[in-house]
Structure 1
Amino acid sequence: MPNRHAVVAGAGIGGLTAAVALHRRGWRVTVCERADRAPVTGAGIGLAPNALRALEAVGVDAARATGSAVPATMGVRSADGRWLTRTATADLAARYGVAPIAVPRPAFTAALAAALPPDALRYGTEVTAVDDAGAAPIVRTADGAELAADLVVAADGIHSPLRRAHFPGHPGLHYTGEIAWRALVDAPDLRVSAMSETWGRGERFGVTPLSDGRFYLYATAVLPAGSRSPDARAELSRRFAAWHDPIPALLERIRRLDPADVLQNDLYDLAAPLPTLHRGRIAWLGDAAHAMAPNLGQGGCQAIEDAAVLAHLLPAGDAPDAAPAIQAALAAYTAARRDRTDAVRLRARRVGRLGALRHPLAVAARDFVVRATPERLALRGADDLFNGFRLPARA
């Protein structure tokens, strides 16, 4: 009997991790990605301890594949440079067994893609529909092709067409009230060793050292959805040039970039949880399943957890008469992942509201409370995030 076939819609981090995990479980995988090629620009991603443990379960060593950058400290600062909260990375490693790392997103996705068979990944192939009414799901693509599958993984992103098609009554996305800018810059001469997020009045600026020596920079501002400046580089300088070091020097590096290399996008999360993370033999994961604001750095991490749990629960690719086992595995996947991911989604929304405060008195009160919170309590609050990954028992 030929191996079971999984079609993955989307070649982002969640989709590629799922494809690698299923491939290593003996499945034949086809990844359909609407983009014409792999990304070469973009952003970085922080891999928290929970994501690193999920990758380990899949058999992926992210640090070996992409290199690792372990900052000396991580924390939140005010616009004048004062630390509101700061934690030594060594303390995180001691508490959680592994230190968080930060890697360039294009390099990470390339490493995942390299772990797949050469013919598994199809760029320029957009999944337009999935018909799950027959004996096997039929995946239809924009070029008119039809793919028969035993399983479909909907990893088609925050605006997921498959989510809209199969959950037509769901309210969809919720605008958080902020837009974001993201960029990668070279600045080895600055010798910045801290991963930080600075909070101002309705604005934030993040600095993350990456494994290849570059920096992942991001900024947010409270603005109406769809707001765009003609030159994002000038807009960032206007907003943040008076903030603490090394932000002005990093902005100078941003000004040297091609305008297309500074990404601008509205920030959305899912307005409400999906009633289930599967329908028939379709499983949703990552942003397609539980889009969350980036305020905890857990969007990609939760997608990686999804992928590891889904592949773990599914039968091996060569299992005979696997259809009933696939259905049972998908129900177990929803049970294992829905509540955890929704709790993280809501928590990220609450943190975002704190970072977006604009009234001077509210900002002062926020900064005082954050600064006065003992480090041990702050770490305890992270325990459910960083220690929350578990592989559930198989049926």
Structure 2
Amino acid sequence: MQALNIVVAGAGMGGLTAALALQKAGHRVHVYERVAELAPVGAAISIWSNGVKILNALGLKEQIEAVSGDMRSMSYQDQQGQTLTRFSLEPLYQQVQQPARPIARALLQELLLEAVGREHITLGVSCEQVAQDAKGIDVTLSTGDTVRADLLVAADGTHSRLRTEVAGFDSEREYRGYVNWNGRVPVSADLADAHEWKQFVGEHKRVSLMPMGNDEFYFFFDVPLPKGTANQRNHYRDELRQHFAGWAEPVQTLIERIDPERVARVEIHDVDPLDKLVKGRLVLLGDAAHSMTPDLGQGGCQAMEDAWVLMNCLEQYAGDVPAALAQYEAQRLERVAGIVLRARKRCDTTHGTDPVKTQEWYDELAQESGVNILAGLRQTIEGSPLQ
């Protein structure tokens, strides 16, 4: 196979996974990241089985297992703390032959950085413009320098500057109606079982506690709010007390234990599915290609799938980059569009876009044995390119 010179724009989870996969395939890869210091957005990432399998195949199995959460069950409570449903995740894990691995974003990023090699990553430099011909692509950097490559992988995130170059128009990020506060707290039995993903739902709001490894829970609070609501860190705890007044004792305990200085507050957006992911030798990957709400926990996993498919397509069409990218687009376009729309639908149901449907969902949870939820998770996982 012909080794290619590949530039990756962005050192997030998608860009680093792509860089590692392409290196494993024998290509020469360099990553440019616009920020001077990497600081992952969000405390943790829920890597479901489809993403874990790809990280395992890229040589990170032992490292991931050592630092990720051991999530064995899942439950929903109402706002008073009454259990609506609780069930084991083991049947799902047996069916897909891989447990989920919730993990701190900073730890995963560090593992990927070390695997790629820091000498292959330049911080504080972004990919600004491109010019292509039949034999390659010229990438103009924010330094004013130009680098020549066989391929540019645009993994520059939800605010991608290169997405417009591929799409042919400015694809607007759309506010999906809710704000998410997230962070991490020490595992404690008065919050949740150390091996259970526990969620409280009611009033179109949600509180979640997920085991993320290192004896910590990843927590988040979701609240439907107008866009542009004031974001004042010193008011986070008081805001949450107000939004969740009267909720169950574990929710009140969690609010008192958070460290506002370590909490991220994010307005949740997504981008309508694109009708193309490739333009010549420029290819979109990760959030640049399919920015989605976090309601299915699949944003990072889909970026990992992108990386795996891109690596395989370049191997299948060795020496013919345009043909490889056309195949990548054919394999990814429908899958990622479907997950963007499913995540949006789940977002709307959870957060009261249609209050009648949200109440119906609460009622369904009270009758849920786990079979339907597990079937939905399995459907997503089994669509992965790596079984």
1:378 is the counterpart of 2:373: yes
2:354 and 2:172 mapped to 1: Cα distance? 30
1:369 and 1:71 mapped to 2: Cα distance? 23
Q: Which residue of 2 aligns with 1:388?
A: 383
1:357 is the counterpart of 2:352: yes
Question: How much has 1:2 moved relative to structure 2?
Answer: 9.1
- 3-state DSSP class of the match of 2:118? coil
1:391 and 1:341 mapped to 2: Cα distance? 15
Aligned pairs (5 A) from 1:1-395: 3-39=3-39, 42-61=42-61, 63-64=63-64, 67-133=67-133, 135-169=135-169, 171-188=171-188, 190=190, 192-193=193-194, 194-230=196-232, 231-240=235-244, 242-254=246-258, 256-258=259-261, 261-271=262-272, 273-315=273-315, 322=319, 325-357=320-352, 363-391=358-386
1:66/1:107 contact within 8 Å kept: no
1:358 and 1:333 mapped to 2: Cα distance? 34
Q: Deviations over 1:177-209 (max 9, x none)?
A: 112111122345646322123222132111111
Q: Deviations over 1:116-156 (max 9, x none)?
A: 13310111112212222463211112121211111111111
Which runs of no fewer than 5 residues in structure 2 stay unpaired? none
TM-score normalised according to structure 1 size: 0.89
Q: Deviations over 1:208-257 (max 9, x none)?
A: 11111122111121112221332223212222253224222221221x44
1:229/1:235 contact within 8 Å kept: no
1:66/1:108 contact within 8 Å kept: no
- 3-state DSSP class of the match of 1:137? strand
2:236/2:260 contact within 8 Å kept: no
Closer, same or farther: CA 213–327 of 1 in aligned 2, 3 Å: same
2:359 and 2:244 mapped to 1: Cα distance? 19
Aligned length: 383
1:187/1:253 contact within 8 Å kept: no
Q: Deviations over 1:13-61 (max 9, x none)?
A: 1110000000111111111111112227731011111111222333332
Question: How much has 1:365 moved relative to structure 2?
Answer: 2.8
The one-letter amino acid paired with 1:224 is P
- 3-state DSSP class of the match of 2:162? helix
1:65 and 1:122 mapped to 2: Cα distance? 28
Closer, same or farther: CA 203–26 of 1 in aligned 2, 3 Å: same
What percentage of aligned pairs have identical amino acids? 32
The answer to which of 67-76 and 303-312 deviates more is 67-76
Closer, same or farther: CA 269–64 of 1 in aligned 2, 3 Å: closer
The answer to which of 188-197 and 298-307 deviates more is 188-197
1:337 and 1:331 mapped to 2: Cα distance? 10
The one-letter amino acid paired with 1:334 is E
1:339 and 1:368 mapped to 2: Cα distance? 32
1:187/1:250 contact within 8 Å kept: no
2:237/2:256 contact within 8 Å kept: no
TM-score normalised according to structure 2 size: 0.91
Question: How much has 1:64 moved relative to structure 2?
Answer: 3.8
- 3-state DSSP class of the match of 1:122? strand
- 3-state DSSP class of the match of 1:305? helix
2:183 and 2:62 mapped to 1: Cα distance? 21
1:342 and 1:50 mapped to 2: Cα distance? 17
The answer to which of 358-367 and 335-344 deviates more is 358-367
Closer, same or farther: CA 234–372 of 1 in aligned 2, 3 Å: same
- 3-state DSSP class of the match of 2:270? strand
The one-letter amino acid paired with 2:266 is N
The answer to which of 21-30 and 196-205 deviates more is 196-205
2:44 and 2:93 mapped to 1: Cα distance? 21
The one-letter amino acid paired with 1:118 is R
- 3-state DSSP class of the match of 1:14? helix
The answer to which of 65-74 and 353-362 deviates more is 353-362
